[in-house]
Structure 1
Amino acid sequence: MTVAVSTSFEFAAYLEAARLRVEAALDVSLGPERPESLREAMRYSLLAGGKRLRPILCLAACELAGGDSDLALPTAVGLEMVHTMSLIHDDLPAMDNDDLRRGRLTNHKVFGEANAILAGDALLTRAFEMVALRSPGVPAERLLAVVGELSLASGAPGLVGGQVVDLESEGKQVDLETLEYIHLHKTGALLQACVLSGALIAGASEELLTALRRYARGIGLAFQIIDDILDVTASSEVLGKTAGKDLTADKTTYPKLLGLEESRQRAEALVEEAKTALEPWLERAHPLLALADYITSRDR
């Protein structure tokens, strides 16, 4: 059964309002600090635009759990900092070696490799500061749980571990199980942290947290499948990053294993599974349901 978003829910307006809210919070998150060169490198990538899906997922999950999303905004900013760090580091010559990100030169092409690494490091640590020191009004035990989720997502059990397996798999025959491992860790772990962090700040029940884990797993895999499809079908101008680089690096992708049509069908099925997990909370779940649909309909 398909779980449908209410026809009265204006998703485009919601998404744009949330994006602007996140952009404003990001803009003030890096104050007048020294050295100025580090601040410039951090701001260059953090404020480069993008869909801001990760912080928006955090805010939407907080609202679903009955919380005040203003209290989750510092954590949402921190999550986008972790994501930005991962992009800066992924683009480095020793990693995915890319020159283009979000429609402009990658960080290391502008500021040099050393400063790019350090800017990523600074954003990662600033993310924990946002949660622990810049989240007034949130009970300490909830923030501690968020720190735990953020640590798991950003470290070896999450995106770092996923990146290592991704690098080790280049040029090799990889089965579907290994491919899903890579994406559940490299991409899915942070998406799960976004969803769970917002709910934890709101004091969500264990029942809801379990459902949100199922939701996050579904959208995490679906997101990466669509990324793999777009790498094949979209241009660099549309994507804002180098198209076809997975093929160039001889990476295993969903289209390579399953073909384009079956890959898209799998993404759509995962989104339906994710939405079904939230069915008991349907009245407040429309933003998260619409965000799940958006993942499979996006063109960049």
Structure 2
Amino acid sequence: MEDDFHKALRQTAELMETELAHFLPTNEGLEKQLYKAMRYGVLSGGKRLRAFLVIQSADLFSVPRIHSTRVAAALELVHSYSLIHDDLPCMDDDDLRRGIPTVHKHYDEATAVLAGDALQSLAFDILSHADTHPSPEVRIALVAKLAHAIGVKGMVGGQTMDMYADAVDIDIITITRLQQLKTGALISFACIAGAILGHAPPAKTQALKAYAHDLGLAFQIADDILDIEGTTEQLGKAAGKDEAAGKATFVSLMGLEEAKIHASMLAEQAVKHLDIFGPKADLLRQAAAFTIERKK
């Protein structure tokens, strides 16, 4: 029987499919290939965990869903753009994503680059629109926070570190910083977005920041574990690729069992940061457990 968390996560995924399809219309002009690639890269399933975090964190402050849903959709567009670019031959060179050919395999490399670019700009278009929030100050804060999260001091910086770091020179401190930027920055934005939308007081904003910090690291450690223990069929992408490439990961540095212990510890810490919210944050608490228990 489906529990409350999995029901809420499924409902979020269904909501995102509808919302994202609305923002990604079809087109029959000369640019139709771009439109098709954008839809292909976004509307191909996925957990929609980041969208879930946006909506649930905003619910803590009774933010109308009409606002949090738009922010969640914008974040999913950015996440999809990052995956499209990460899969390119010049980056991670992956052929599969979510069990289907990656965008550059289904179309071509140039179209994949352009689709990612277009999805990123569309996300900021959504965030800056008055329908996202009536307050210009809130919209500006969201734009600024997301821009920082995906830039040189966030996701793109982390991806660059991942590309150029020599595995033999990476220690646990470096890999932690790398993953805080590459993976954690978007998870952090997802949680802080709710606080921004809800005009949260400093103490509650800080609690969500701390939750996101520990959740993001637990999520990445779980990913590293899945790369070792999961199958290509389960993951929807090539399994064992990090190990085969000799990349430094939490598992390679800590060992499999120690990595599992550390992920569990981080998930428990993440939950403790939510004490200030009481039972209203129960679904976020369950998200921490899901992060380390998931199979894909």
TM-score, reference length from structure 1: 0.94
Q: CA deviation at 1:134?
A: 5.8
Q: 2:134, 2:237 → 1: CA distance? A: 37
* Residue number among 61, 66, 69 corresponding to 2:65 in the alignment: 69
Q: CA deviation at 1:255?
A: 1.1
1:31 aligned onto 2:28: no
**Secondary structure of the corresponding residue to residue 28 of structure 1:** helix
* Residue number among 215, 222, 225 corresponding to 1:226 in the alignment: 222
1:170, 1:249 within 8 Å by CA — same for their partners in 2?
A: no
Q: CA deviation at 1:46?
A: 0.3
Q: CA distance change for structure 1 residues 249 and 146 in 2, over 3 Å: closer, same or farther?
A: same
In structure 1, the partner of 2:8 is 14
* Residue number among 253, 256, 270 corresponding to 2:252 in the alignment: 256
Higher mean alpha-carbon deviation, 197-206 vs 238-247, is at 197-206
Q: CA deviation at 1:68?
A: 1.6
Higher mean alpha-carbon deviation, 47-56 vs 133-142, is at 133-142
* Residue number among 144, 148, 151 corresponding to 1:155 in the alignment: 151
Correspondence 1:120-131 to 2 at 5 A = 120-131=116-127
2:138 maps to a residue whose letter is R
In structure 1, the partner of 2:84 is 88
* Superposed structure 1 runs of 4+ greater than 2 Å apart: 31-34, 134-138, 170-173
1:57 aligned onto 2:41: no
**Secondary structure of the corresponding residue to residue 285 of structure 1:** helix
The answer for unaligned runs of 5 or more in structure 2 is none
2:279 maps to a residue whose letter is E
* Residue number among 185, 209, 213 corresponding to 1:213 in the alignment: 209
Q: 1:13, 1:162 → 2: CA distance? A: 33
Q: CA deviation at 1:171?
A: 4.3
Q: CA deviation at 1:57?
A: 0.5
> Which structure is richer in relative contact order (CA contacts within 8 A, separation 6 or more)?
1
1:140 aligned onto 2:136: yes
Deviation sequence 1:173-211 (CA, Å, 0-9, x none): 310011001100000000001111122112111111111
1:198 aligned onto 2:182: no
Deviation sequence 1:94-126 (CA, Å, 0-9, x none): 100110000010110111111100100000110
1:153, 1:189 within 8 Å by CA — same for their partners in 2?
A: yes
2:184 maps to a residue whose letter is G
1:282 aligned onto 2:253: no
Q: CA deviation at 1:237?
A: 0.4
**Secondary structure of the corresponding residue to residue 94 of structure 1:** coil
Higher mean alpha-carbon deviation, 89-98 vs 136-145, is at 136-145
Identity of aligned residues (%): 40
Q: CA deviation at 1:70?
A: 2.0
Alignment RMSD, CA only? 1.3
Deviation sequence 1:51-109 (CA, Å, 0-9, x none): 00011110000001222222111111010011001100111111001100000101101
Q: CA deviation at 1:136?
A: 4.4
Aligned residues: 292
Q: CA deviation at 1:248?
A: 2.1
